[in-house]
Copies of this chain bind each other. A is one copy, B any other.
Amino acid sequence: MTFADMAPDRYPAILENACARSRFLLVCEHASHEIPGRWGDLGLPEELRQAHIAWDPGALGLSRGLARRLDAALVHAPVSRLVYDCNRAPDQPGAMTERSEMHEIPGNRRLSPEERAARTAAIYAPFHADLRAEIVRRLAQGAAPVLVTVHSFTPVWHGQPRAVEFGIIHDHDPALALAVLEESRDSGLVCGLNEPYSAADDVTHTLRLQALPYGLANVMLEIRNDLIATPEAEEAMAERLAPILARALGSLAAPAMAG
């Protein structure tokens, strides 16, 4: 028996722009609000299943705009983070959350260990295996991928408005994040380093899992979602951020070496 046989159903990552030629590899863990049929509606009304608790509105559109402009590949997840949040390890409370902001998720209440394992095998494991496959293929071919995860955040959280518009977040290796911050000076955006949250809030799982072990340059980007609320706004933001990312990478002295 192989390990794959243990997972009755798999939701592979979606890869776009596979043959892109730049070093950038864009990742969008919260691209989709799709809840596959086997998980029903998780006990939530339609409105909440479309809201920011289910996905990062605008993040996929922005990522696609960046991918085109940067000639970058893009990997994104096909399932709502309400079923499994691919930016969380399986033992983190947020992986299959019982609560998001002020909303209870009835379909996630008191999940059995078997159900937690089944969702992990069906969604988390294939997503990260597929992303890793793309990274290691490039490494094997002599390329030095640069991992950029793209997220959006809600302008109001627990009733409090958030002033920051563009959050730049790092884990143990801050080099690319600091370079992006530096290059964002004249962007006209209210920028925040490690805002609206930071690695201490356990939001950098993908960076830790996929970039740090290989010594890849990496950063997590967070855009306030009211700034990318339409396809036109997504495009405009991509047009604004793509040159910032390109300059930031160029400013790093040398390609990141594997650790």
Contact = CB atoms under 8 A, between A and B. Distances in A.
A86 to B, nearest CB: 11
Contacts of A136: 89-90, 120-121, 124-125
A183 interface: no
Contact of A133 (B121, B134, B202, B259): B121
Given A116-B141, A120-B136, A209-B213, 18 more contacts: A2-B12, A3-B13, A3-B129, A3-B130, A3-B133, A6-B137, A7-B133, A89-B139, A89-B258, A91-B140, A91-B214, A113-B141, A116-B142, A120-B137, A125-B136, A129-B129, A208-B213, A212-B212
Contacts of A92: 258
A141 B125 contact: no
A119 interface: yes
Q: Please report whether the interface of chain A is mostly helix, strand, loop or mixed according to DSSP.
A: helix
Nearest to A210: B213
B142 A132 contact: no
B258 A91 contact: yes
9 contacts: A2-B130, A3-B129, A89-B213, A90-B140, A114-B141, A125-B136, A202-B259, A205-B213, A208-B213
Contacts of A51: none
